[in-house]
Each structure stands twice: as C-alpha cells, then as structure tokens.
Amino acid sequence: MPPRKKKESKPKPMKAILWESADQLRGTLDAAEYKHFVLGLVFLKYVSVAMAEKRAQLEEGLRNGSMLSSLGLAGTASESLIAQTVEDRKQYTGAGLFYVPPTARWEVVMERAKGTLEGQSLGEVINDAMGTIEKYNPALRSTLPQEYNSPRINEATLAGLVKLLDRLEFQAQVSKDGKRTGARDLMGEVYEYFLAQFALAEGRKGGEFFTPECIVQLLVEMLEPQEGERVLDPACGSGGMFVQTEKFIELHEGNRFNISVYGQERNLTTWRLAKMNLAIHGIDANLGEEPADSFHDDQHPELKADVVLANPPFNISNWGGERLGMDPRWKYGVPPVGNANFAWVQLMVNKLRPGGRAGIVLANGSMSGKSGGEADIRRRMVEDDLVACMVALPGQLFRSTQIPACLWFLAEGKGKRHAKWVKGRAGEVLFIDASGLGSMEERTLRELKEEDIERIASTFRSWRGVEGSNSYTDTPGFCRSVTLEEVQHNSFTLTPGRYVGVAEAEQDPDSESAEAKVERLTKELFMHFEEAARLEAEVREQVGRL
C-alpha cells in the first residue's frame, strides 16, 4: 500500500495568528499591553523578510551576471564579492528597505526560541536585535520596543509567541527592479486588531478609535493632497492618514517623496508605532521630538500646513481645557471644558496656511450640539464661510465604537475668495448624506466600498468645479448645495439630513397616472355595487319562495 501523501496545511490568516498570540500572553500581561509586545516582533519579522527577499535577488543577479554591470564589473562574480555585496547596507537602504545586521535577524531570534542557540536569554536576544536595528537605521531611533527581558513573561511563553508569529506570511516586498513595493499598512492592521479586541481595556475609555481605511481613503480623496504640500495630522495615531496620502499621490502619478509630513501623538507606544509604520512605507515624517499633547505641547509651533486632517478622540472631557483659557487658537470661541470636539476643529484651523484645507472626523453631536457654547462656535464658523462640506457617515464603521460619525471639510478663505480648492462657492455649503451607503462586512461592522467613496468624492469634485468633472446638480436624499442664509434659518445646524430632503421614489414605467387610477377604481366600485344589488335581489327572491 503506497504511503499517504502528507496533506499540505494552508497558512492561517493574520487575525487568527494574532488571536493565538493573545492566548499566549493571557495571564502574563494585561490585555492593554498585548499589542505593545506583539507589534515589535511583527515588525522584526517583516523587515527581516524584506531583507531576505532583496538578499536573494542580489545573490541571483550576481551569480547570473545581470547585476555586474550596475556595479561596474564584468565577468563572473567571486564568492567573496557576493558575500560582500549582499551585506552592503547601501544595497538595502537605496532600495527603500531596512538593513538588518546578521545578529538582529528573525532567524537568530527563531534559533534561540527553538533552543538551538546558547548564551543570552531569548528576551536579551530580542532586545539586542531591536537596539542593533535602531543603530543601523536612524529613522527608527528611540522607536522599537526593548522590554522583552521582563520578569513578567517567562522564557517558555516568549518562545511560544515567537514560534507562533513565525507563521505570519507577508506579500512580496521587493519588485523586479529591486525597489521596495507599496507596503500594506501592516502595523496599522495589527494595531487595529488589538484595539478592537481589547477596546474596553484601553481605547474606548479614552475615546480613541482606529480610523477604518475606508474613512481615511475618503478623507484623502476629498482633500486631494498634492506634491510639494505640507500635510499635518495633529492626532496621528498609527500614521494611517499619511500612508493613504502616499498612496493617493502615487496613484495620481506624483512623487510621494516630494511632500512634507508632520504629525503629533501623545501616547508613547502609539507614537513609536507610527514611526515604525511610516518607516516601513519609506515616509520621512516629522512626528516631533517626543510624544506630546497637541493642545499643551505643540511640537510644530511655527507650522502652517496646506492640508490638515485628523480623526481625534471623540468627545473627550479630560483634555485640560481649563488650563488654556483664552488661548489665541480659539478664534471662534472658547470650547467647552467638558468636550474637546471644537477645540480640535479650531486647532486644525489655526494650523492652516492661507487658502489651506482641512478634513476632520467628529461625532455626530458636533453638527447640532448646543452645550457649553458649541452652537455659538459653529455659528461663527459658518458666518465666516469656513465650512465647505459636511458628510454624514453610515453607522457601524468603527470596530470599537458605535458612536455615529461625520466628516467636516473646511476651506480657509472660501468667503474671502482666495481658497483655490473651492472655486466660486463663497456663501454655500455642500451637504452630503452618505448614511445609507456601505455594506455589512460582519454582523456589527459596515464598510464603505470603492464605489461609495467615489460617489461621495466625485460629488464634491463636481461641486468644487474641478476641471474634467461632471456639472453639479442636487440629488434629493443624497446631496444639496445650501446658502448660508438657509443654514442660518436652521439655527446653524449642520446635519445633512436637515437639508438634502427625501430621495425621490423610483417610478414604475408601467404604472398608471393618478387620474387614470381614480377612474378605474371608481368603475370597479360601481361594478361591485351593481353586483351586490343583483345578489341582494336574488337572495330576496329565494327567501320569498320559502
């Protein structure tokens, strides 16, 4: 009897492996700390795999001679030349990759986890690897976690975690020309997963929610960042806004390197995560000297940006507003101490250069709330003709909160007619009700599809008068351009549903007119009367015979 063929097991998806990694750490670390521990290891494997790809490509090119001319050589590459070239740091950094020294590679960590490497403990090996990578890659200085030799986690547990994460598989990171390909937002994905799974342990308490990619994409599609511009996110989280900005510029055949990126994040772990994430994507970002609060320790005090975009924490009350008082940033009024929404809006406006533009994700209450002076701030912003567009989003877009959200788009100078981004729309606001768009991906999670994002963004482009776009027309139930006078008449409420009306019911081409329907039903009614009279006469006749 022939031996059975061994069944090939399919690789587990990333989320399943991350869930198992949480199982490994339960009882050892708090749930809120899981992602801190796992992210560094995922990063280490990710950059090691990328380098291994490039290393194999270099070696093959040297052995078959295809790379010799680029090195100014001819003939056959010697083994010493191959060994020297594949360890040349410039071969990797020049391709947009990280150089990982031999002692810091994932393979070394795996050997120690399997017990085939003696000497240091596994935690010490990992810490040294992180420190070595930082030393050889200045963009990662003070970024990578080095807390793996903690007495709180034993060697066996850490080894099991490393072996588990070894099963993670990544797509190709090096293209045929030897350069870095467009990396996925891997750090953001891992971060989102842990934040979603353990939101009660951390994020939800602080009002901090990972921004779904579809919302980030919509913000960027609406704001259209261009080459040579300065982009700021004052609550940058894991850096997803910048990743999408890079993709947008590349998609529109621009040079993603010709853009200045500035960010700020107050949480140390998230700040480090953003630096890791942006470094993976080759984005040279200025995230400040240290993690800091944008309200109380501005890391970019002199900056005036072309584009400002953010998804700040929703409705936070502990933002220290009582310590700011009559801050010069509060152009439209002092925000309520108990809610930072309008503090964020005004901070972003303050960071705009003349003619700049901003997009911000806020809770729906910001469109109509009246507590703590919010109504007066909103009124002054509308009267200054700062608001360009309001978008009501569908519910259930965020994994870790059911708070409904909206998008504010602001154009500095729209009323003064020097906002090039919005042409000829002084004294008007575009309202878009997208609350009915999207589709359910999971039982409690909705997602905006590409066609939904394009419908919203193209409507805004048409309203702005972008060259090549269709002419704008109001669509009942979806969008409407409204004058400031009408907004004033509605007490400066900015909820799109107040203005766009109800969608027109689709007409059945075979349906009859109202007049014809009345005439037909009248005839039918009289026919029923006649039939009833006939039946009554027949019944009377039959009864009379009894």
Give Cβ neighbours of residue 288 (< 8 Å, ≥ 6 apart). 263, 264, 299, 300
Residue 148 confidence (pLDDT) above 80:
yes
- Concatenated DSSP letters of 148-196: TT-TTS-HHHHHHHHHHHTT------B-TTSSBP----HHHHHHHHHHH
> What does pLDDT average to over the chain?
85
Judge whether 416 and 392 are in contact, CB under 8 Å.
Answer: no
Who has greater pLDDT, 51 or 480? 480
Who has greater pLDDT, 520 or 196? 520
Q: Could you give the strand order of the β-sheet that contains 260-263, starting from the edge strand earlier in sequence?
A: 285-286, 260-263, 230-233, 305-310, 352-363, 405-411, 387-392, 428-433, 479-483
- Residue 411's H or E segment, with its range, is strand 405-411
Who has greater pLDDT, 51 or 509? 51
- Residue 389's H or E segment, with its range, is strand 387-392
Q: At 386, phi and psi to the nearest 5?
A: -90, -30
Residue 154 confidence (pLDDT) above 50:
yes
Burial of residue 93 (number of CB atoms within 10 Å: 0-12, 13-18, 19+): middle
User: Mind listing the pLDDT tens digit for each residue in 18-39?
Assistant: 888 888 887 777 766 777 788 8
474: confidence class by pLDDT, cuts 50, 70, 90: very high
Query: 138-147, 320-329, 534-543: which has the minimum mean pLDDT?
Result: 534-543
Who has greater pLDDT, 314 or 499? 499
**Arithmetic mean of pLDDT, 221-228:** 92
Residue 348 confidence (pLDDT) above 60:
yes
Burial of residue 303 (number of CB atoms within 10 Å: 0-12, 13-18, 19+): middle
**Rounded to an integer, what distance in angstroms lies between the CA atom of residue 493 and that of residue 429?**
12
Residue 512 confidence (pLDDT) above 70:
no
List of E strands, 277-347: 285-286, 305-310
Residue 129 confidence (pLDDT) above 60:
yes
- Residue 215 identity (one-letter amino acid): I
Residue 165 confidence (pLDDT) above 70:
yes
Residue 401 confidence (pLDDT) above 60:
yes
Model-level pTM? 0.78
Who has greater pLDDT, 121 or 207? 121
Give Cβ neighbours of residue 160 (< 8 Å, ≥ 6 apart). 24
Residue 546 confidence (pLDDT) above 70:
no
371: confidence class by pLDDT, cuts 50, 70, 90: confident
Residue 409 confidence (pLDDT) above 70:
yes
Specify which residues 263 forms β-bridges with.
233
Residue 402 confidence (pLDDT) above 70:
yes
pLDDT of residue 488: 97
DSSP 210: P
186: confidence class by pLDDT, cuts 50, 70, 90: low
Query: 86-95, 230-239, 386-395: which has the minimum mean pLDDT?
Result: 86-95
pLDDT of residue 424: 86
Q: Which residue is listed with tokens 């399943």?
A: 16
Neighbours of 544 (CB within 10 A): 7
CB contact burial 476-503 (16+ within 10 A = b; e otherwise): eebbbebebeebeeeebbbbbebbbeee
All structural domains of the chain: 14-181 (1.20.1260.30), 192-500 (3.40.50.150)
Residue 205 confidence (pLDDT) above 50:
no
- Residue 481's H or E segment, with its range, is strand 479-483
pLDDT of residue 182: 57
Query: 303-312, 349-358, 437-446: which has the minimum mean pLDDT?
Result: 437-446
- Concatenated DSSP letters of 149-160: T-TTS-HHHHHH
Residue 6 confidence (pLDDT) above 60:
no
pLDDT of residue 542: 67
Who has greater pLDDT, 439 or 202? 439
239: confidence class by pLDDT, cuts 50, 70, 90: confident
**Rounded to an integer, what distance in angstroms lies between the CA atom of residue 389 and that of residue 241?**
19
Which residue in 310, 350, 311 sits closest to 330, CA to CA? 350
Residue 500 confidence (pLDDT) above 90:
yes
Who has greater pLDDT, 171 or 226? 226
CA distances from 162 to 113, 114, 130 (A): 7, 9, 14
